Structure 1
Amino acid sequence: MRLLKIDPRPPSYDSVAEAALDAGSNATIVDSVEMQDWHPIAPPPVVGAPKLAFVDGVQRLEVRVSAEGDGWPIPGALVSYAAGAACPGREPPVRHVNVQRRVILAKGVQPSSITLSARNGELDYLPAHNAGEDFESLGRTLNDLRANLEAEVVRALIVEGMELIIADGRLPDVRHGPVVGLIKTLHDLYVSKPEQVDCLMRLRAGERSPLFLIQRARTTYYSWFICLRDPGPLDLALSGLARLEMDDAKSKDEVLRVADITASILPAYASTAARDDRAPQNLLPVGQLERELRHRLGDPELLKRLMVQTFAKESPGWNP
């Protein structure tokens, strides 16, 4: 008999309830890396917590623009993005914050920089290249710019000697260092065997799944699931899970060690539904970092007014 369970996430957010069971046609899964018969793994308690950092970034489309006056209008946007790290229990707790602002046009058109003048200084929107044909391509360029900035933060933390770096989202493009990507919204489970799905549904806080490999055309990485919070009696069985990724250049023993550490220590950083609609996956240090980064982007309404004033000075039009 099937019982209906409730998704604790608000419907406005993506959810594990929508996750596909398999990897689709773009990946090959090796599910016997650690064991053939999957079952929940409860790692031993961690003795001596590692020097830990969480990395995340934010982005914002400030205003859409159109470069007009010389043939077909070219869509564009002014955007802001930022990245940084949260290091719980260390000073400073937030570090390596970098805020960038860009003006992007489609079709490979190179714009000029734009400077907004405010009472306390100037804000420069520098040109960024985008070869796409439509407005959607601007969003992809912005995603790439933010991801590159996050990778810079990760590299700075590696130089600093951080022992474990949790990057919010997919594994960043950094081929060395103790870096783990944490995917908090499970669009794909990458497993489809009944015993594997059953293993995931039985995971409890502090436990993890066995390791498996995800092989794509250009990348291969280790992955595993952890449970951050026990599901409530009415919750979806998978609602407390997150998936993690680590570079396959690491030895299997090293990845197993890191997998055990993440399963053991990350539940302590899980958010609650009272504080975050994306609980428990939006970890507390990440949520705090996101708020700080958004603050550093500035007041969007003030920026919009400054943009209007700047464009008005260039009347009758702004020429990129």
Structure 2
Amino acid sequence: MTIAAPASRMRFHVDGWDPTYGSSVENAEHGIADSTAKVTLHTELAPADWKPISPSQVSAPGAVLFVDGVRRVEARIWIEQPPSAPATSPGNTVRDARMALCASYAAGTVCCCPDRGAHLLTIDYRRGLFTTATNAADVPTTAGTYRATITPDDEDQNLAVLLSTALQRQLTDLEVLVATHARTALTGHGIPEDSDLLVVDGPLRGRTHLPRALGFIKSHRTAYLPPDLHAMIATLAPGERSPVFLMGTSWDRHAWYLRLPCTPGAPWAGIVRLECAADIPAAAAIELANLSQALLPRYASIEYKDTRAPQNLVPVAGLERELRRHLGNPILLSRALRVASAS
């Protein structure tokens, strides 16, 4: 009698991220998409010499500032347009309506410094009306005024995407504002001038003019490196980083990959991408890469505390909670908008 050999057991890893946030690899179903970005690989090492880089000794900054912003659409509204055609009968006119977004958004900064530890340094929040309707005006409510931002119409772009982009621009501007105010506030902390490091949660686009600033990208949807070097990223040990490279899409920046401390698992578990300005010398970019490698792992989150661990850094997670609290109760805000629309 022939006895079949037991089938080999399938090995698998569970993505630690809460599925409601997607995945740390955003195109997980189809793999990371290839990029059309222009990449210069020899900023730090020649491509043939690329290898994981271990941490090095660096001087710690006087303070680390973590900047983040949150946004929430409170309601989609329709703004009536002036009559677009003459009346076909007495008292009858042809009217059009444009969709718009009423949204709340907030940004803030957490300071991590030797004397006071991690503490909230600056915070600001706004409410806005985002639309292509040229007759739009501010919407006052009992819960605050939604300031009108009129965006030029673009027939080639989906309206929802157009308005969402306008909202994101306003949020980015607010993040720049709170970051600038945070550095001003550091003068009362006894921190030497120009000795802080600014870490922006998300790409650095629109903020590359900020000195000593890093963009911190938690998830990955595009493979920017050639296949052999892209595969090398999965071999990084916790605390190791890739060499620095220069990347150009619609904007230019220096970039590198870093693996944060995490439970062994999926090939890209704990991998983040860091960015800094393209117009600084290569040596300065490498210095920032070494600094990020020494500092950021200590702020990595832990799985049982955060469903986006380890990429959702602990100070950023706390800042997100505080920012969402400042947005207000969405039920009350929706009710205030309905009351305003009826008055």
Which TM class, normalised by the smaller chain length? 0.7 to 0.9
**Matching residue within 211, 217, 220 for 1:186:** 220
Structure-2 residue corresponding to 1:58: 70
Greater mean alpha carbon deviation, residues 11-20 or residues 249-258: 11-20
Cα deviation for residue 49 of structure 1 reads 4.3
CA distance 1:183–1:73, shift in 2 (3 Å): same
Higher CA-based Rg: 2
**Matching residue within 175, 195, 205 for 2:238:** 205
Q: Using the aligned pairs only, state the percent identity.
A: 28
SS at match of 1:262: helix
CA contact (8 A) 1:23 1:29 kept: no
SS at match of 1:276: coil
Runs (5+) with no aligned partner, structure 1: 315-320
Structure-2 residue corresponding to 1:35: 45
Cα deviation for residue 91 of structure 1 reads 7.5
Alignment of 1:3-22 (within 5 A): 4-12=12-20, 13-16=22-25, 18=27
**Matching residue within 262, 276, 287 for 2:317:** 287
Cα deviation for residue 202 of structure 1 reads 1.6
**Cα distance in 2 between the residues matched to 1:34 and 1:18:** 29
Structure-2 residue corresponding to 1:318: none
Q: Could you give the per-residue CA deviations for residues 61-84 of structure 1, whole angstroms, max 9, x where no partner exists?
A: 001100136322110121111111
2:122 corresponds to which letter in structure 1? H
Structure-2 residue corresponding to 1:220: 252
TM value normalised by structure 2:
0.81
Greater mean alpha carbon deviation, residues 293-302 or residues 38-47: 38-47
**Cα distance in 2 between the residues matched to 1:10 and 1:102:** 30
Greater mean alpha carbon deviation, residues 75-84 or residues 268-277: 268-277
**Cα distance in 1 between the residues matched to 2:170 and 2:81:** 28
Greater mean alpha carbon deviation, residues 10-19 or residues 72-81: 10-19
CA distance 1:69–1:191, shift in 2 (3 Å): closer
Alignment of 1:153-192 (within 5 A): 153-159=178-184, 160=186, 161=193, 163-174=196-207, 175-192=209-226
2:139 corresponds to which letter in structure 1? I
**Cα distance in 1 between the residues matched to 2:34 and 2:279:** 22
Structure-2 residue corresponding to 1:136: 161
CA distance 1:135–1:220, shift in 2 (3 Å): closer
Cα deviation for residue 189 of structure 1 reads 3.0
**Cα distance in 1 between the residues matched to 2:320 and 2:332:** 20
Cα deviation for residue 35 of structure 1 reads 1.0
**Cα distance in 1 between the residues matched to 2:270 and 2:160:** 36
Runs (5+) with no aligned partner, structure 2: 1-9, 83-94, 187-192
Cα deviation for residue 157 of structure 1 reads 3.6
Structure-1 residue corresponding to 2:170: 145
Cα deviation for residue 231 of structure 1 reads 4.2
CA distance 1:110–1:274, shift in 2 (3 Å): farther
Cα deviation for residue 7 of structure 1 reads 2.6
Greater mean alpha carbon deviation, residues 45-54 or residues 174-183: 45-54
Structure-1 residue corresponding to 2:5: none
TM value normalised by structure 1:
0.87
**Cα distance in 1 between the residues matched to 2:241 and 2:200:** 18
SS at match of 1:170: coil
**Cα distance in 2 between the residues matched to 1:259 and 1:183:** 14
SS at match of 2:234: helix
Cα deviation for residue 123 of structure 1 reads 1.2
SS at match of 2:174: helix
SS at match of 2:303: coil
Greater mean alpha carbon deviation, residues 133-142 or residues 50-59: 133-142
1:268 corresponds to which letter in structure 2? R
Cα deviation for residue 243 of structure 1 reads 0.1
Alignment of 1:109-124 (within 5 A): 109-117=134-142, 123-124=144-145
1:296 corresponds to which letter in structure 2? H
**Matching residue within 128, 131, 143 for 1:102:** 128
Cα deviation for residue 212 of structure 1 reads 0.6
CA distance 1:35–1:244, shift in 2 (3 Å): same
